[in-house]
Amino acid sequence: MFFEHAADTYLRHLGYRCLERNFFSKSGECDWIGVLGRTLVFVEVRGRTSATPWISIEDAFSQSKILKWRKTIQYYLFKKNALLQELAISEIRLDLVAIKKIARGEGWPLFSLEHFPGVVAY
């Protein structure tokens, strides 16, 4: 939950508007859905708190994960058609937000956040 909250705060700071968090379908889950201008953005949030290897884009978006995401996106588009028409959405994008614990400073952990816009074509 910490990672998703951090990603939400970061994306809102950049001007994104959150539409939904933790959207579920029978095919899968999307951590964060929002808009930036006329672009509908689906975001996968990945986080690490240990010294495990860093998240690669390939690890975050395997072929099976991409297939599940596409099905989840199709379901979201179907369920939210009226809202998306009202927002005049012209583009759909899939992003990755990767967050990693990098150090512990003065009693508080320090984290690194990287945002990878458009990592998977839709």
Confidence of residue 102 (pLDDT cuts 50, 70, 90): confident
Helix, strand, or coil here: 6?
A: helix
Q: Edge-to-edge strand order for the sheet containing 17-24?
A: 17-24, 29-36, 39-48, 91-105, 108-120
Read off the pTM. 0.86
**Mean pLDDT score of the chain:** 87
User: Which range is most confident: 1-5, 90-94, 110-114?
Assistant: 90-94
Q: Please give the Cα distance from 91 to 69 (Å, whole number).
A: 16
Longest dimension (CA), the chain: 49
Q: Which fold has domain 2-120?
A: Trna Endonuclease; Chain: A, domain 1 (3.40.1350)
Where do the domains of the chain lie?
A: 2-120
CB atoms within 10 A of CB 5: 11
**pLDDT at position 53:** 60
Helix, strand, or coil here: 50?
A: coil
Average pLDDT over residues 11-37: 96
pLDDT at 41 over 80: yes
